[in-house]
Structure 1
Amino acid sequence: MFFKRKPPTRRYTIGFYNLENLFDTRNDPRTLDDDFTPDGVLHWTPKRYRNKLYKLGKAIAHTGRETSRRSPVIMGLAEVENRMVLGELLKSKHLSDKGYEIVHYDSPDERGIDTALIYRQKYFEVLDQEAVPLIVNSVNGMRDYTRDILHVTGLLNGERIHVIVNHWPSRREGEEDTAYKRVAAAAGVHRIMDRVRETEDAPRFIIMGDFNDNPFSKSIREHLLSPDLFNPMELLLSHDKGSASYNFKWNLFDQILFSRDFMVTEAGKHSYVEANIFNDRFLTEWTGRFKGNPFRTYAGRRYLGGYSDHFPVYIQLELNM
């Protein structure tokens, strides 16, 4: 019996995914990437690299597809080493026929990991792009060379939007001791938005990233969120659901916020439909004490061969006719 494939809907998925150290296998003398080489402590071989590309491609291609019946039209990414790994990711089995293009800049991060954006040319046209440095100091007073903020302006099905991709400073030196860095990052995002507002009336923003803070953290709730922004991720975090787990506690560091104008239905423009964490079973640990957690590539130095230590998150917008 022949089953006709259902056509795509007017829903469009916009997602974000922390890829957990998508490194190539070559040593870059300018960055601290020695662990991710065949002779490094993680024994990062071409075979392991190819396996990760395949799996990440599968995860991206399926994000939001069940309801939109198409792969994401825009996907923000974190923890990518360079443009080359992005190009090889887009050549992987599940993405090679989707028509994705890349926005990427090398950042000053000491480990060499960057933010990036991939998008499907059929639906999104890039008009402008910039990498905005985030200047913060470490607790010792020295500059923290962290990831840039990526700002991309484009037309989504003809509608002008601004996408801002973030990977805020980590909690490695302690949550409270580093909170000021993430507050500074929130201020950096607002400077970008204010600059846009000087030249555009009622611009529409989509702000995404790994913020290394939860929806109700001070940096998000008090400094990033504003009356004209909505954060649907506040409704998703619970004791048994999140995008990443640490010490058996769920976090939702991966978030997507957007202008409240997306809550209004207007012909020719997009309106918000839903937000979710993409945590299908194939992305999870199937058994044991970590059952349900993201199936990650490494646990410490131990190779597991999974996807990432984060789940993708996404929102869906509907194009109103």
Structure 2
Amino acid sequence: MSESSEENINNFSIAFYNLENLFDTLDDPKTMDDDFTSTAKRKWNEKRFRKKIRNLGFVIKQIGYSELQHPPVLIGVAEVENAFVLQELVNSKFLKKKEYDFIHFDSPDERGIDTALIYRKEYFKVIHKEAVYIYVENNKGVQDFTRDILYVKGLLDNEEVHILVNHWPSRRAGVEKTNHRRLAVSAKNKELTKQILSDDPNARIIIMGDFNDDPQSESVKNLTESELYNPMELLLTRYDGSTIYRGAWNLFDQIIITNNFLQLHGNDFRFKEAKIFNPESLREFKGRNKGNPFRTFMGRKYIGGFSDHFPVYGIFSIRNKI
């Protein structure tokens, strides 16, 4: 948050970050987390977990800091195992003085990875929270357990806002074979948006997440065809994105907003700019992967970085009512 005293305007950053498998070191018999134990091939132990927590806190503290001199007030995150890892993150070295709290529900995802919303208690007050269940099927007509949509309604600097945090089904089995799953989650987001707007036509909605699809993909385009605007469409280029696969950049991590954030006149809560947070410090600095996100694991090989995704964020301004 930064403040302009002349106009009495507060500026905030709101971010999304896929944390790349933020697991604790214990085996949960209910999920497929066996790779993230000390006896597994990845050798996921307390020392590596603590380094990962410290690294992620270091990143989050920096998002938007150069523009605002404050870290984000809201951060949607993906690939967290449970409430414990989130508690350790908000209590970590670089974040504990910022008084973050979080909202999290365990999802039915088979790997045990969930979404969550981290927020600064000084600026954001929670009104309502729920996990919205998603039903999707695989190509054989069998239910495919995926992440819920995390829905949070709250007051940001006394302005009401609705947040939907997403992590859409993976492309791992093939883009075309899995497309229907992402279309289903996209449709659910659209349904939720319409429900919120039917109750309040002026509602401000922010949909964020790792969509496992780019801004031009069918699933994302379906979501943004009417009430919603995607300010990140132009951020994906041959040279920039939020994650990379076989040398090609993708912008799976996106923040989508309702059109009322763009109104110029009589608008107290306004969207200003969208960015990818990708400084050199978060990139591989040498070798064939130079410039890529400096990740925690390369396959099963531990390299001790941050995440295989860069965070994305938007800057918003709120005019205080006097």
Give the structure-2-normalised TM-score.
Answer: 0.95
Structure 1 outlier segments of 4+, above 3 Å: 6-9, 265-268
State whether residues 8 and 70 of structure 1, in contact with CA within 8 Å, keep that contact through their aligned partners in structure 2.
Answer: no
Following superposition, the deviation at residue 8 of structure 1 comes to: 5.2
Task: Tell me the equivalent position of 2:314.
Answer: 315
2:12 is aligned with 1:12: yes
State how 1:202-221 maps to structure 2 within 5 Å. Answer: 202-221=202-221
Q: Where in structure 2 are the equivalents of 1:137-156 lying within 5 Å? A: 137-156=137-156
Query: What is residue 242 of structure 2 aligned with on the other side?
Result: 243
| Aligned pairs for 1:215-234 within 5 A | 215-221=215-221, 223-234=222-233
Alignment match, 2:7: none
Distance 1:158 1:268, change over 3 A: farther
- What do residues 156-212 of structure 1 show as CA deviations (whole Å, max 9, x unaligned)? 111111000000000011001110111110111012112212322311100000000
Distance 2:114 2:24 in 1: 13
What code does the residue aligned with 1:76 have? G
CA contact (8 A) 1:8 1:69 kept: no
**Whole-angstrom CA distance in 1 between matches of 2:214 and 2:227:** 19
- Quick check: 1:287 aligned with 2:286? yes
Q: How do 1:1-321 and structure 2 match up within 5 A?
A: 10-221=10-221, 223-265=222-264, 269-321=268-320
Give the CA RMSD over aligned residues.
1.3
Amino acid at match of 1:306: G
Q: What secondary structure, in the 3-state scheme, does the structure 1 residue paired with 2:238 have?
A: coil
Query: How far, CA to CA, are the matches of 1:264 and 1:25 in structure 2?
Result: 47
8 Å Cα contact 1:104-1:115 kept in structure 2: yes
Aligned-partner residue type, residue 236 of structure 2: L
Counterparts of 1:108 and 1:121, CA distance in 2? 28
Summarize the Cα distance change of 1:280–1:119 in structure 2 as closer, same or farther, 3 Å threshold.
same
Give the match's secondary structure for 2:27: coil
* Structure 1 pair 265–69 and aligned structure 2 pair: CA distance change class (3 A): farther
User: C-alpha distance in 2, partners of 1:7/1:191?
Assistant: 34
| SS state at 2:178 partner | helix
1:103–1:266 Cα change, 3 Å: farther
Per-residue deviation, residues 87-142 of structure 1 (Å, max 9, x unmatched): 00011111001111110000000000000000011111110011001100011211
Deviation at 1:266, TM superposition (A): 5.3
C-alpha distance in structure 2 between counterparts of 1:65 and 1:316, whole Å: 11
- Indicate the percent of aligned positions where both proteins have the same amino acid: 49
Distance across 2 between alignment mates of 1:281 and 1:188: 37
Q: CA deviation at 1:21?
A: 0.1
Contact kept, 8 Å, 1:267 with 1:320, in 2: the verdict is: no
User: Which residue identity is paired with 1:73?
Assistant: V
Alignment check: 8 A CA contact 2:242 2:253 kept: yes
Q: Is the 8 A contact 2:2 2:11 kept in 1?
A: no
Q: Aligned partners of 1:264 and 1:239: how far apart in 2?
A: 31
Cα distance in structure 2, aligned partners of 1:115 and 1:23: 13
SS in structure 2 opposite 1:35? helix
Question: Would you say the 8 A contact 1:154–1:160 is kept in 2?
Answer: yes
Query: Given that residues 163 and 207 in structure 2 are in contact (C-alpha distance below 8 angstroms), is that contact kept between their aligned partners in structure 1?
Result: yes
Give the partner amino acid of 1:162.
H
Query: Which blocks of at least 5 consecutive residues in structure 2 are unaligned?
Result: 5-9
Structure 2 CA distance, aligned partners of 1:176 and 1:283? 31
Contact kept in structure 2, 1:271 and 1:317, CA below 8 Å = yes
Residues 154/7 of structure 1: CA separation in 2 closer, same or farther (3 Å cut): closer
